[in-house]
């Protein structure tokens, strides 16, 4: 019988970030030597979630994931079963797909930072844009869950686009796929509007159509994700299974068709796409 070795997970303290200053970008620089699973961030000196206006992850000097504000990230964390910042005073940045049933699938997307391998990740930076009104004594301390180093393999890629609407009704979004991709999930983040229902088309086929209440009910029924207010999710792993990505291409005519309401003047819909990037193959 084949024995599967479960990697030992260690917790280490990250280097102190640079430029924890109001109106500036604080940077945690991560060097090779481990496979990164999660970063756990503690804000101090009066720094709050609301003061962190944008978080991004950069790989070898190029942007890899746009995580948005700390408040938005905290909400998605709760959707994936991670405790809220309000309950723990810790903000987690996960390199893994959270809320899955199986250990192997959960940790498959950890960021491998072995040296001397193809497409090596020699530097990973986590950037925090700090509001100019933040406390001058602000601090950021972080720890990481890591395992032994491996090649980069499959890692997460995250992008966000904003769409502004001045009227209610069905909208068509067909501009978010620019290359062949494997999509894990799409988050529709509501600001000044509500998504009442969503239809998803791929290769001219309807692959998803749910009202907001039905979507929340099905996600809740899965037992692995927790619906959040102002967040409509199209999640291929909503029932905890991690081998169901959606294959899309620029030619597949991938479309989101949200029906929105509650627009008064204008409202913004942020479309956040989480997909897989394969390196070192």
- What are 266-276's pLDDT values in tens digits? 999 999 999 99
pLDDT of 48 higher than 60: yes
Instruction: Check if the beta carbon of residue 211 is closer than 8 Å to that of residue 263.
Output: no
Domain final residue, candidates 128, 152, 176:
152
6 or 105, which is more confident? 105
Please, are residues 134 and 51 in contact by the beta-carbon 8 Å criterion? yes
pLDDT tens digit string along 104-127? Answer: 889 999 999 999 999 999 999 999
- Cross-strand partners of 143: 13, 40
Examine the domain organization and report whether 28 and 108 are in the same domain: yes
User: In this structure, what are the phi and psi dihedrals at residue 50, rounded to the nearest 5 degrees?
Assistant: -65, -20
Q: Does some domain include residue 4?
A: no
User: Of 108, 134, 152, which residue is a domain's last?
Assistant: 152
With 50 as the cut, is the pLDDT of residue 16 above it?
yes
pLDDT of 1 higher than 50: no
pLDDT band at 103 (very low <50, low <70, confident <90, very high): confident
Q: Answer yes or no: do 225 and 145 share one domain.
A: no
Q: Does a structural domain hold residue 5?
A: no
* pTM, 2 dp: 0.94
What is the per-residue pLDDT for 5?
Answer: 56
Check if the beta carbon of residue 192 is closer than 8 Å to that of residue 263: yes
Residue 2 has pLDDT above 60, yes or no: no
Contact predicate 6/84, CB 8 Å: no
- The b-or-e profile of 168-195 (16+ CB within 10 A means b, else e) is beebebeebbeeebbbbbbbbbbebbbb
- What is the residue range of 221's domain? 161-278
Q: What is the CATH number of the domain that holds 120?
A: 2.60.120.730
């Amino acid at each position: 019988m084949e024995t599967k070795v479960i990697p030992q997970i260690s917790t280490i303290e990250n280097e102190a970030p640079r430029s924890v200053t109001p109106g500036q970008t604080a940077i945690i620089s991560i060097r090779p030597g481990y496979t990164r699973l999660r970063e756990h961030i503690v804000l101090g000196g009066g720094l709050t979630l609301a003061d962190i206006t944008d978080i991004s992850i950069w790989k070898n000097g190029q942007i890899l994931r746009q995580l948005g504000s700390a408040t938005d990230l905290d909400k998605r964390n709760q959707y994936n079963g991670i405790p809220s910042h309000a309950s723990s005073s810790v903000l987690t940045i996960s390199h893994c797909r959270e809320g899955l049933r199986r250990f192997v699938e959960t940790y498959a997307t950890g960021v491998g930072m072995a040296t001397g391998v193809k497409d090596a990740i020699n530097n990973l930076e986590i950037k925090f844009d700090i509001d100019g009104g933040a406390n001058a004594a602000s601090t950021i301390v972080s720890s990481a869950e890591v395992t032994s180093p491996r090649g980069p393999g499959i890692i997460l890629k995250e992008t966000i686009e904003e769409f502004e609407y001045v009227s209610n009704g069905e909208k068509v979004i067909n501009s978010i796929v620019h290359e062949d991709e494997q999509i894990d999930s799409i988050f529709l983040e509501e600001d000044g509007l509500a998504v009442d229902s969503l239809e998803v088309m791929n290769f001219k086929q309807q692959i998803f159509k749910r009202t907001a209440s039905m979507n929340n009910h099905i996600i809740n029924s899965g037992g692995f994700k927790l619906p959040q207010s102002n967040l409509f999710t199209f999640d291929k792993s909503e029932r905890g299974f991690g081998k169901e990505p959606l294959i899309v291409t620029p030619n597949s005519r991938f479309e989101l068709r949200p029906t929105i309401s509650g627009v008064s003047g204008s409202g913004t819909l942020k479309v956040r796409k989480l997909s897989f990037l394969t390196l070192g193959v």
